[in-house]
Amino acid sequence: ALTEARHMIGAAVRTWGARERADEIELVADELITNALMHTEGSAIVTLRALTGTERRLRVEVEDSSSALPRRREAGESGVSGRGLLLV
């Protein structure tokens, strides 16, 4: 599922004409999707929206079936996980 989402996001970013921001967009989306899949019991729905206005913006939405809100964890100095929401 994560690989399919990455391909979809990459294609959408290219179509939208934001190749210069592709790595950043894909990193944020990847982090959100991974969190949804790892910390909930279900799947994730990914939506990308090109927002209109004076500045070009792309909104990345990831929805899961959990009723619990995301919470930031403290990773500690040598922790290898727990920084995802802080990055996003």
The structural domains of the chain, with segments of one domain joined by +, span 2-87
Residue 87 has pLDDT above 80, yes or no: no
Q: Would you place residue 31 in the very low, low, confident or very high pLDDT band (cuts 50, 70, 90)?
A: confident
pTM above 0.85, yes or no: no
pLDDT in the model for residue 23? 86
Give CA–CA dist 43/10, Å, rounded. 20
Could you read off the pLDDT of 51-61 as tens digits, one per residue?
A: 888 888 888 89
Residue 17 has pLDDT above 80, yes or no: yes
- Show Cβ contacts of residue 27 under 8 Å, excluding neighbours closer than 6 positions: 87
